[in-house]
């Protein structure tokens, strides 16, 4: 897969954050998500803001701009809070954004920080009513005794205005930090997961949710694993999966019991005893799980690899792709600088034939499932000029490296791509690199 850079959106210029603890960190992008049609792309950041981009319609004058996205709406989704009972500061950082399928002219999305989930309505207004009987044009009430005739209000065109308004706030249901939200295929309910519990919500009910998974032990000293991600099946509204820090995935069926502590299927790859090390348990922790669009497969991302599982085979994955195997010899230093705990996400393309995930040095990896070919690309300012073709990058692990290769010792571990998204229909991808959003499309002939 060869990508062509459409353009770089430098959307968040570093500014001094008012927080005493994290200056300059508010602009770091923390989630990226296309909506169901791919027309809109939403990003959330550590400052609690949501920025929505809209796909630029292709025109006869500029037919080559089929992948260009322009800013559509920006709004503050979450504010910093403080839990006085627990003396706990709650960050405004947006952990996840999930779009709802479009039902009318407006768009709806869910956004969450560590504790509170909000449902937002994004709507357009390009007309305003004029000619009220009881109000002047500037909105002041008229004297009823001076009204001598009735007027029929008319709609007049105005400059397009995009409004984002909170419709629901789902709060006070999670003791621990929310790591996942997932909209169900019935489009009426959604899941929210934290370290130890998963809750099921109805989109119309904010004051209560149903706890469907609870792995908290009676004695917290016996805690051995936590929930890392959860997702609903794309077609079966009763099925969902959740992954754990032990590298296991549990598939649950909500028809079996109200509390899904007993799973229907348990996916785990047996560990090779010869390769076991001090870091084995840390690098086996799953940071992301995604169902394929078809619902037949699911993909999991651990620290070093991406695995594709067939839902009908629990004992091992059907495909395993090494993302950055050259880092296995660097695990000790990665542990010391805490990079080994980074949570990389993964995503499918629209036809489930390719997958993508991020790495360090602003590299991201794409794997073709049919040909088993893979490619490493870099999101950088040099490659972000319009129409610039991305060149494949290679990492050298030996002493002697070829031209155009980069040594594993030269990788910048502060530059990392944790969040990626793939357009549901076209070969357009969005890659978040710290405070920059890169959008690429497949090469045009």
Tell the burial category of 330 from Cβ atoms under 10 Å away from its Cβ (0-12, 13-18, 19+). Answer: middle
Give one word for 254, left, alpha or beta, with left for phi > 0 and alpha for psi -120 to 50.
alpha
Q: Tens digits of per-residue pLDDT, 183-213?
A: 999 999 999 999 999 999 999 999 999 999 9
Q: Judge contact between 298 and 292, C-beta under 8 A.
A: yes
For 275, list phi and psi in degrees, rounded to 5: -100, 10
Q: Tens digits of per-residue pLDDT, 301-351?
A: 999 999 999 999 999 999 999 999 999 989 999 999 999 999 999 999 999
What are the structural domains of the chain?
6-29+84-95+169-442 (2.130.10.10)
Give Cα separations from 289 to 15, 276, 319, 343, 344 (angstroms).
Answer: 34, 24, 14, 11, 10
Q: Tens digits of per-residue pLDDT, 80-125?
A: 988 888 888 899 999 999 999 998 889 999 999 999 999 999 998 8
For 334, list phi and psi in degrees, rounded to 5: -70, -30
The H-or-E segment that residue 282 falls in is: helix 280-284
Query: Is the pLDDT score of 275 beyond 90?
Result: no
Nearest by Cα to 283 from 342, 243, 368: 342
96 forms bridges with which residues in the sheet?
A: 112
Tell the burial category of 17 from Cβ atoms under 10 Å away from its Cβ (0-12, 13-18, 19+). Answer: middle
The mean pLDDT value for 390-406 works out to: 79
User: How far does Cα 289 stand from its chain's mean position?
Assistant: 11
DSSP track, 181-205:
EEE-TTSSEEEEE-SSEEEEEETT-
The mean pLDDT value for 260-286 works out to: 89
């Amino acid at each position: 897969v060869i990508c062509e850079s459409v353009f770089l959106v430098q959307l968040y210029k570093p500014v001094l954050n008012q927080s005493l603890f994290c200056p300059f960190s508010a602009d770091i992008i923390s989630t990226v998500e296309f909506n169901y049609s791919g027309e809109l792309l939403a990003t959330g950041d550590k400052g609690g803001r949501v920025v929505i981009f809209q796909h630029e319609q292709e025109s006869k004058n500029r037919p080559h701009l089929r992948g260009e996205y322009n800013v559509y709406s920006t709004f503050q989704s979450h504010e910093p809070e403080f839990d006085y009972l627990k003396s706990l500061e709650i960050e405004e950082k947006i952990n996840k954004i999930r779009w709802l399928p479009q039902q009318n002219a407006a768009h709806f999305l869910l956004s969450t920080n560590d504790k509170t989930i909000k449902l937002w309505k994004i709507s357009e207004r390009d007309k305003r009513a004029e000619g009220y009987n009881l109000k002047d044009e500037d909105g002041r009430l008229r004297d009823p005794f001076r009204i001598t005739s009735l007027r029929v209000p008319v709609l007049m065109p105005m400059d397009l205005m995009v409004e984002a308004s909170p419709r629901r706030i789902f709060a006070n249901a999670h003791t621990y930090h929310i790591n996942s939200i997932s909209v169900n295929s019935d489009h009426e309910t959604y899941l929210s997961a934290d370290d130890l519990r998963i809750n099921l919500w109805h989109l119309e009910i904010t004051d209560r949710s149903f706890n469907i998974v609870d792995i908290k032990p009676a004695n917290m000293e016996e805690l051995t694993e936590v929930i890392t991600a959860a997702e609903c099946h794309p077609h079966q509204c009763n099925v969902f999966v959740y992954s754990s820090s032990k590298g296991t995935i549990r598939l649950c069926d909500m028809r079996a019991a109200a509390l899904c502590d007993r799973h229907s299927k348990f996916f785990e790859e047996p560990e090779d005893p010869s390769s076991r090390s001090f870091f084995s348990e840390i690098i086996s922790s799953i940071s992301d799980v995604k169902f394929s669009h078809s619902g037949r497969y699911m993909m999991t991302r651990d620290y070093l690899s991406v695995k594709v599982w067939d839902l009908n085979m629990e004992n091992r994955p059907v495909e395993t792709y090494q993302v950055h195997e050259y880092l296995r010899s660097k695990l000790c230093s990665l542990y010391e600088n805490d990079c080994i705990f980074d949570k990389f996400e993964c995503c499918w393309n629209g036809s489930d034939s390719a997958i993508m995930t991020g790495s360090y040095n602003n590299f991201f990896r794409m794997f073709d499932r049919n040909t088993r070919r893979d490619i490493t690309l870099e999101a950088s300012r040099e490659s972000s000029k319009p129409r610039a073709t991305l060149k494949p990058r290679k990492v050298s692990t030996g002493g002697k490296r070829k031209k155009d290769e980069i040594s594993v010792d030269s990788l910048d571990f502060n530059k990392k791509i944790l969040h990626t998204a793939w357009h549901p229909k076209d070969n357009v991808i969005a890659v978040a690199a710290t405070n920059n959003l890169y959008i690429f499309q497949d090469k045009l002939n």
